Structure 1
Amino acid sequence: MTGFNLLTEEWIPVQKQGHFETISLKRLLCNDEEWQLCLSRDDMEMAALQLIVCIVQVVFMPDDEDDLFASYSKPMKEADYEKGILPFMEWFDLLHPEYPFMQCADVKAKDENSKGNTPKNWTSFQKLFVGLPEITSDSPSSKAFFNTVDEINNTWYGEVAIAIFQQATNGFSLGGSKFAVGLKGSMPSTTLIQDSNLRKSIWANVLNKEFLQQNTSLFDGNKNNNPTWVVLPSFDKNKPESAQSIGLLRGLFWQPAKIKLFVDEKQQLSGFLTNPGMSYFEGFWKHPHTPIDEIAFKENKSSKKPFLSLRRDYPVWTEMLSYFYTKNAGQEGASRALVVSHYEQVIGRGKTINLVVGGYVKGGSQESLAARKHELYGISSGWEAQIAEMNMLISYGLDAQKALDYAVYSFGKELNEIRTVRNREQDSNLMKKLKEQTKKHYFAGSESVFHSIMRKLDVNEVSNYKNHFTQLAMVTYDTIFLPYEHDPKLLKAVVAGRRTLTRNLMKIGENN
């Protein structure tokens, strides 16, 4: 194959009513069909959505609200599509000889290694799929979700394009300290709007030029808007690229690493080639798809990243305020992404919002992966003014978990498992284990509880929903401590903990 252009080829995997097909971007935008994305993993589906959104954002950017509404409401004319893609044809071809999409044409195959006939700088393309086992690595973290290293042995160009984009935009580095991460740092969260079908979902996430001019500096001055596979990032530590000089296209498709797909003698894609080397930039680039801490962004300190990431010890719903709402000036914490603000003001004005939230959770080291999370939250019309109610709902869920902590503490006190050493209380190993178990069990169950509340949420009756969390807390306590009730020596401690739990659960919401 001599070329694979994302603007012309059929690469988007979709389904409708059980019918599966791979379609082109032209067919998607120029027809009003009820397609939905369909890949084997939810994170890859979200990556595909984000990739398509980014392509449409730069190739067919609407001038203003009216232009956006027109694109959202009716399919594009094929003649307009063909005219729109002409200036970008060379930049979205995976196999272009000079400008391969999100790759570096200068990366060459090095001498064959001692283990076979692959180049020394060859890497299995599984490394591009975050969380898949990496054939060329012995690290346990490279096999985060699989038991063997041969789960996949071939793929198609469309999926590889999605994986390259996802790895560079939302993943971690390709090889530790020898490789840089993307503009948002390692494993940032992403928020995107989901509409009734894929075509409308795309336009619901595309920002019009007038909005971008009013809310960003992306069109100020002389921005570098060449993609990184046309003009490479700086790989000189002493001459970092300024984030303030990065244009919209360059930023949305930022590739921090030197990689190139490797096509073998049989013309089959078998992996990719890499050249080690850190790319450098200074400052922060305001990505439109990720919640951001405005205070940290303005302070511009490299030690304090402003982009929101998902947490290992807390479920996604605990950060909902950062996904849906904007903090007041001077308030700490992350505010919603630009794409959500744009939706509220334009396409979503007075409408229900369905927000997809996704991302990866860091493990103990720079390259380790603890989990991947992907959730869809829907709120009915009027959600824009419901920040107080949503805050109350979240506080119910968190306060119930805190009540469990107090209950475990009471259990430990009764057993003398919590001792005072040098005026400081110290947990025994048993207590540390019980605290971890109850917290993990409660938060695991809280996801389904929160979603069930959101499906029938009545903001005028928010206080009634605290019972969902108190019941979950009681069930969690009984599940963890039931085995201890059979021991007469422990039964008194179990009862003391349950009494403390009940007392604190009753207090939830008293100050609201």
Structure 2
Amino acid sequence: MKSFNLLTENWIPVQQQGQFETISLKRLLCRDEDWQICMSRDDMELAALQLIVCIVQVMFMPDDEDCLMDAYKKPMSEADYDKGILPFMEWFDVLHPEYPFMQTASVKPDIKNKKVENGSSIQKLFVGLPEESSKSGSSNAFFNSSDEIECVCLGESVIALFQQATNGFSLGGQFYSVGLKGSMPITTLIQERNLRKCVWCNVLNKEFIKRTSSLLDGDKNNQPTWVVSPSFDSKSPEYAHTIGLLRGLFWQPARVKLDVDDTFKVKGFFKEQGMSYVKDFWHHPHTPIDIIRLKNNKESPFLSAKQDLPLWGQMLSFFYTQSPEKEGISRALVVSHYAQTIGRKKPINLVVGGYVKGKSTESLAGRKHEMYSISSGWENQIAEMSLLVSYGLDAQKALDDAVYSFGKELKEIRIVRNKEKPSKLITNLKNQAKKLYFNNSEELFHSIMRELDVNDISKYNDNFVQLAIGTFDTIFLPYEHDPKLLKAIVTGRRGLIKKLVKIR
């Protein structure tokens, strides 16, 4: 009988000093080696880290902070590892005949069954890569040709399977469900250079979970969805408060089955139509939540990346919990835990990743992935960081207003450059200016963070002021030779300078 168990096999892609290898979870946790995850895409690297963290969280959860610190400082004994994985061996076998990891064993190709799709290409499982048959232009966001991926190894396919279910969107629009966090939520995890220590930075201890959430309360269903299926009946939904930690961390909302050949290569997967139904809120520990949306029973309260806003624009939500009277954002539990345990009085490196929703609910417009570092004392610097973020956003708003001022001067002009109507020209210029400003702001923000002096935040305002002026000049340079537009450009730039002076 074929078997590929995530608890014993080599499936974690790593590198150290240019040496590439695939190692087992046992080797990672039980040896003092300086590995880093290494994959071809940054979002998949984050997914691999999250998958490892989730496995360690449910199998080796420390009782308290002291136990956590011991695990962080020194490798686990092989005897303790073998003992810890023993109760979970059946559930983490990717090829198990009855309970394949995050799959439904009964889903098989069947020409007569119209609900089962025969052989979706494997690249469909990787968020951002379409099926080979896809003709959609937007679906071709992150790859070069429609037949780029023919097969992948089992380990990589499992990471993609986990990512799709946990942080992606549905596998087929309205006929398929999304995960417990809704469609395309942001993930925030602590980053360290040493992978073993990095994993433990993101594992919550039992005492903290009981104190800050209800994830361990009561008699919950802790069997994974591939053992006890979610409810696919809208009249009898599964309630979030009954979902245990293991079941929630590895929630699989869809019926899927990997198509694996005799050489352990995955060439595709099968899927079956059906919506799984969960009612209420399950507090996933790796994603910030919007308290106001949660209290008002709005759509999923988990934060998502925004197409027209860089990740630094949402930065306060990643690092801090703000009062409901303000924005009502609560940072992920994993960040709060780090601040109170391993990260106490230490700097923080936070990796943030997420996909950007397109125009429709389940379309993809892009992906974002950044790492933000703040020196020690960051827990008490919310006011300073808030001011820094506001400088960047206020400068962009001033840029918007400047384009609007330019537009007001064009009211008398019916036809401008290339016979373009003023309203259309203004809309295009506003979009161009915003995109260019935010694209260049990422590098600027990281450079500020590397030399950040929280005692004099105001000096960084000039960086954003110069970026706004440079963006305006770049956008309007092609129009300066047109006499009809020159006066409007001068008016807009003058308005921009006035706005930026007020910000200063």
Shared topology, TM-score over 0.5? yes
Please show how residues 60-99 of structure 1 align to structure 2 within 5 Å: 60-99=60-99
**CA distance in structure 1 between the aligned counterparts of 2:480 and 2:324, rounded to whole angstroms:** 52
- Which segments of 5 or more consecutive residues in structure 2 lack a partner in the other structure? 415-420
The range that moved more, 19-28 or 261-270, is 261-270
Aligned position for 1:225: 222
1:52 and 2:52 matched = yes
Aligned position for 2:111: 111
Aligned position for 1:335: 330
Taking a change above 3 Å as real, the CA distance of residues 478 and 48 of structure 1, as seen in their structure-2 partners, is same
Seq. identity, %: 68
**CA distance in structure 1 between the aligned counterparts of 2:390 and 2:327, rounded to whole angstroms:** 17
1:253 and 2:236 matched = no
Query: Are the counterparts in 2 of residues 141 and 367 from structure 1 also a CA contact under 8 Å?
Result: no
The structure 1 residue matched to 2:445, chosen from 446, 450, 455, is 450
Please show how residues 109-508 of structure 1 align to structure 2 within 5 Å: 109-111=109-111, 120-264=117-261, 268-299=265-296, 301=297, 303-416=298-411, 428-508=423-503
**CA distance in structure 2 between the aligned counterparts of 1:166 and 1:111, rounded to whole angstroms:** 29
Measured after TM superposition, the shift of residue 331 of structure 1 is 3.8
The range that moved more, 256-265 or 217-226, is 256-265
Query: Are the counterparts in 2 of residues 327 and 335 from structure 1 also a CA contact under 8 Å?
Result: yes
TM-score, with normalisation over the residues of structure 1?
0.94
**CA distance in structure 2 between the aligned counterparts of 1:432 and 1:181, rounded to whole angstroms:** 34
The root-mean-square deviation of aligned C-alpha atoms, in Å, is 1.8
Measured after TM superposition, the shift of residue 497 of structure 1 is 1.1
Aligned position for 1:32: 32
Measured after TM superposition, the shift of residue 298 of structure 1 is 3.6
Measured after TM superposition, the shift of residue 148 of structure 1 is 1.6
Q: Which AA in structure 1 matches 2:37?
A: L
Taking a change above 3 Å as real, the CA distance of residues 390 and 266 of structure 1, as seen in their structure-2 partners, is closer
Which SS does the other structure have where 1:486 is aligned? Answer: coil
Q: Which AA in structure 2 matches 1:73?
A: K
Measured after TM superposition, the shift of residue 229 of structure 1 is 0.5
Which SS does the other structure have where 1:90 is aligned? Answer: helix
Which SS does the other structure have where 1:320 is aligned? Answer: helix
Q: Which AA in structure 1 matches 2:223?
A: N
Measured after TM superposition, the shift of residue 427 of structure 1 is 6.8
CA deviation vs aligned residue, 1:381-432 (integer Å, no higher than 9, x gap): 000010000000011001101111121122112222699xxxxxx9711111
What count of residue pairs does the alignment treat as equivalent? Answer: 497
CA deviation vs aligned residue, 1:59-94 (integer Å, no higher than 9, x gap): 100000000000001011111111111011011111
Query: Are the counterparts in 1 of residues 231 and 276 from structure 2 also a CA contact under 8 Å?
Result: yes
Aligned position for 1:423: none
Measured after TM superposition, the shift of residue 366 of structure 1 is 2.5
CA deviation vs aligned residue, 1:250-295 (integer Å, no higher than 9, x gap): 0000000001111347764221111111100100111000000123
Q: Which AA in structure 2 matches 1:444?
A: N
Query: Are the counterparts in 1 of residues 479 and 486 from structure 2 also a CA contact under 8 Å?
Result: yes
Measured after TM superposition, the shift of residue 163 of structure 1 is 0.3
Query: Are the counterparts in 1 of residues 93 and 100 from structure 2 also a CA contact under 8 Å?
Result: yes
- Which segments of 5 or more consecutive residues in structure 1 lack a partner in the other structure? 420-425
**CA distance in structure 2 between the aligned counterparts of 1:113 and 1:254, rounded to whole angstroms:** 26
**CA distance in structure 2 between the aligned counterparts of 1:106 and 1:446, rounded to whole angstroms:** 49
Which SS does the other structure have where 1:46 is aligned? Answer: helix
Aligned position for 1:16: 16
Query: Are the counterparts in 2 of residues 133 and 150 from structure 1 also a CA contact under 8 Å?
Result: no
**CA distance in structure 2 between the aligned counterparts of 1:433 and 1:136, rounded to whole angstroms:** 33
Taking a change above 3 Å as real, the CA distance of residues 40 and 112 of structure 1, as seen in their structure-2 partners, is farther
CA deviation vs aligned residue, 1:331-371 (integer Å, no higher than 9, x gap): 43422100000000001000000000000001111331100
Query: Are the counterparts in 1 of residues 291 and 329 from structure 2 also a CA contact under 8 Å?
Result: yes
Measured after TM superposition, the shift of residue 39 of structure 1 is 0.1
CA deviation vs aligned residue, 1:288-342 (integer Å, no higher than 9, x gap): 000001233244x2x4321100000110000011000001244434221000000
Measured after TM superposition, the shift of residue 125 of structure 1 is 1.4
Q: Which AA in structure 1 matches 2:396?
A: Q
**Displacement over 6 Å in runs of 4+:** none
